[in-house]
Amino acid sequence: MPDLDFGYFNILDSDRRGLFSQKLFLERMAPVFFAPRVEKLIEIPDLQARGCNINLPLGAGNLAVLEPETRQTMADKSLGLINEWGLSRLAVDRELKKSALQGLLPTVNLTFGDGFIKAMAAALVARMLSRRELKKIIVVGELENPLAFTARLCQYGLPVSMQSNNPARYEVLSYKLLYEKGCPFATSWLEPGSWERGDLVLLFDTNNLLDTRKTQAFCLRLDNASRGWAPQLESELEKGGIPSSLNNLAPIVESCLWSQAGFLKPYSEEARNDLQEPGNLADDFTRIEALGDSIGLWDIFLDTPAV
């Protein structure tokens, strides 16, 4: 087997219908006809990385109706394939974070790219501050473990606002930043009408619901559907049968970075150099940012505006 830097694991975007959706038929046929398979090997020259596209040809709804014994059979087949290809971590479509896939592979480390997106956003903000005169940074959307990232934004001395449809979720965060760290930080309801010229708006996971064409603020889309961040790299993913939007790009690039740093393969101990393995690779955006710096990754991403 080739030495791989990532494995991308995906399921169907929609459930199988008709006869294939009937539970009795699915119970019998799933382990035989719908077992996971490696569809393609993928080369990414920009990252000097290679990986494979592993597909389980069922939808999340199909997986959810399977009996526990059948789900275990599918999980065993998946694990067998993952072990056969020497993978210890899988990159997974961000759209599947809350799907039945989580329960299917409970013993496998799944990478959804949260750390990479934060690292890229931090690099983007630094680049923007060197080129534009900004008055405020506005973060839009729901972020997991946002403390380190928002604290980084506050270090620039600009007011930072986190706007969402659930601002109460960030009350503890606001207290830590505003009162414990003295950061110029506030939370509020989502208010696109309040955005002004000189504001930098980072749009996370907005699902294309916001129309930013009328605002004078500078908006950077970092939601799952955004694309155009790295055209050549995205083209390589498309050739491998993987849609190139950020929901797929982020977990794959993050997996490549950790693999090349020696964190994903047990036999790569000497590749770790002076890095200490973090407790939670998926959310350690500062280390991902440093790894990206070390290979010149951000130059690939920062010069092309995403859409």
**Segment 240-263, tens digit of pLDDT:** 889 889 999 999 999 998 887 775
99-157 pLDDT, tens digit per residue, is 756 567 777 788 999 999 999 999 999 988 988 889 999 999 888 888 989 999 999 99
Please report how many Cα atoms fall inside a 13 Å half-sphere around the Cα of residue 237, on the Cβ side: 27
* pLDDT for the residue 100: 57
Query: How sure is the predictor about 272, in pLDDT bands with cuts at 50, 70 and 90?
Result: very low
Kind of pairing between the strands at 89-92 and 109-111: parallel
- Nearby residues of 146 by Cβ (< 8 Å), 6 or more positions away: 139, 162, 170, 173
SS3 173: helix
Q: Is the pLDDT at 278 greater than 60, yes or no?
A: no
Query: How many other CB atoms are there within 10 angstroms of residue 61's CB atom?
Result: 15
Tokens 């908006």 correspond to what residue?
A: 219
Structure tokens at 19: 């006869």
Cα separation, 22 vs 25, in Å, equals 6
Q: How far is CA 210 from the centre of its chain?
A: 20
- Nearby residues of 276 by Cβ (< 8 Å), 6 or more positions away: none
Tokens 């603020």 correspond to what residue?
A: 217
Kind of pairing between the strands at 49-56 and 37-44: antiparallel
Q: What is the pTM of this model?
A: 0.86
Query: How sure is the predictor about 95, in pLDDT bands with cuts at 50, 70 and 90?
Result: confident
- Nearby residues of 78 by Cβ (< 8 Å), 6 or more positions away: 9, 36, 54, 56, 104, 105
Q: Domains plus CATH for the chain?
A: 6-112 (no CATH), 115-221 (3.40.50.720)
- From the list 62, 53, 50, 52, the residue with the least C-alpha distance to 13 is 62
Residues 91, 251 contacting (CB under 8 angstroms): yes
* For residues 78-83, average pLDDT: 87
- Nearby residues of 226 by Cβ (< 8 Å), 6 or more positions away: 245, 246, 306, 307
Cα separation, 5 vs 135, in Å, equals 41
Query: How sure is the predictor about 239, in pLDDT bands with cuts at 50, 70 and 90?
Result: confident
